[in-house]
Amino acid sequence: METFTADGTPFERWRVGASTYETCLTRGARLLRWSVGLPGATREVLHWPEGAPTALDRIGAVRGGNPVLFPFMGRNYADGEKFAWKDADGVKRPMPQHGFARDSAFEFVEHGPKHAVVRLQPSEAGARCYPFDYEFRVRFDFLELFLRITFELDNRGGAPLPWCAGHHFYFTLPWHRGLSRRDYVVRVPSKKQWRHAADGKLVPFAGLKGLTEIPFDTPELSDCIFTHLKSAAVSFGPRSGEEDVTVKVGEDPIPGSWGTVVTWTQDPEAPFYCVEPWMGPPNSPEHGNGLHFVEPGRTDTFVTEVSLM
């Protein structure tokens, strides 16, 4: 691991074969960039906007890299109140969109030439949202053309601990000069698709039903929630099938029914498209679908892999 500082902000860099990873792990456990050296060129796998802020109170909202979404993703609701949730005792608590980890401080637990483990630091903001006795860690394994990220949640309290976390990868698209979104397709082996309504409910969506390859210029693709996956592997890339990126949701060959992939982009001209592996759909504390519980004294994990091979 190399370390360097820019504008007073600490950064880390890992070089593994053709892959270079740049991170700011003490600020939101943020993976910023992943680039691959090619003959005469460099491919940016993850988009990170030039000049993006890295201050702790601003990095969470940057549209780039991979924000860590914890303890819940998307928008949460409680009795119709947006950005709130209820615990098992019916206590209503605040919950920002995508949780609070992406705006939180982390500290290093360990690191090596090809890996790092960081731990979420307690904060007043985090305690207001999630006032439990726990430890949340993120492990990164940086390999050539292959990334593995493991979430680990220890329950140190006396009651089951709810969580439903995920990733928000901003993949660079298109990544070939002269091509556009219409030249790339995503393959999501999903039986059911949904929209997230303004009141927090999941609404069945049939706009992509039956499609095995969805072009990235399909308007209905953005903000689509895919569940009931027939395989943990989701792939996307040029129509030719070469240079595919494969994202794996969890460690099982077939995720549970509510293992989720979300596809999203900001607008038709954005230089990225997000393919997001989540433990479950948004607003899981309210509807219960995809919500996971860690028993007292136990550790639960969520593993995501991204492969360029």
Segment 264-292 shows an average pLDDT of 97
pLDDT(305) > 90? yes
Note the pLDDT tens digit of each residue in 113-136.
Answer: 999 999 999 999 999 999 999 999
Q: Which CATH code is given to the segment(s) 2-307?
A: 2.70.98.10
Note the pLDDT tens digit of each residue in 278-290.
Answer: 999 999 999 999 9
- Domain chopping of the chain, boundaries: 2-307
Q: For residue 236, which phi and psi values (nearest 5 degrees)?
A: -155, 155
Residue 232 is predicted with a pLDDT of 98
Residue 39 is predicted with a pLDDT of 87
Segment 178-197 shows an average pLDDT of 96
Please name the residue that has the structure tokens 């077939």.
254
Note the pLDDT tens digit of each residue in 74-86.
Answer: 999 999 999 999 9
Q: What separation in angstroms does the CA of 264 have from each of 22, 110, 276, 302?
A: 23, 33, 8, 21
pLDDT(309) > 90? no
Question: Which pTM was predicted?
Answer: 0.97
Mean pLDDT of the chain: 96
Residue 119 is predicted with a pLDDT of 98
Residues 6+ away with beta carbon under 8 Å from 82: 75, 76, 200
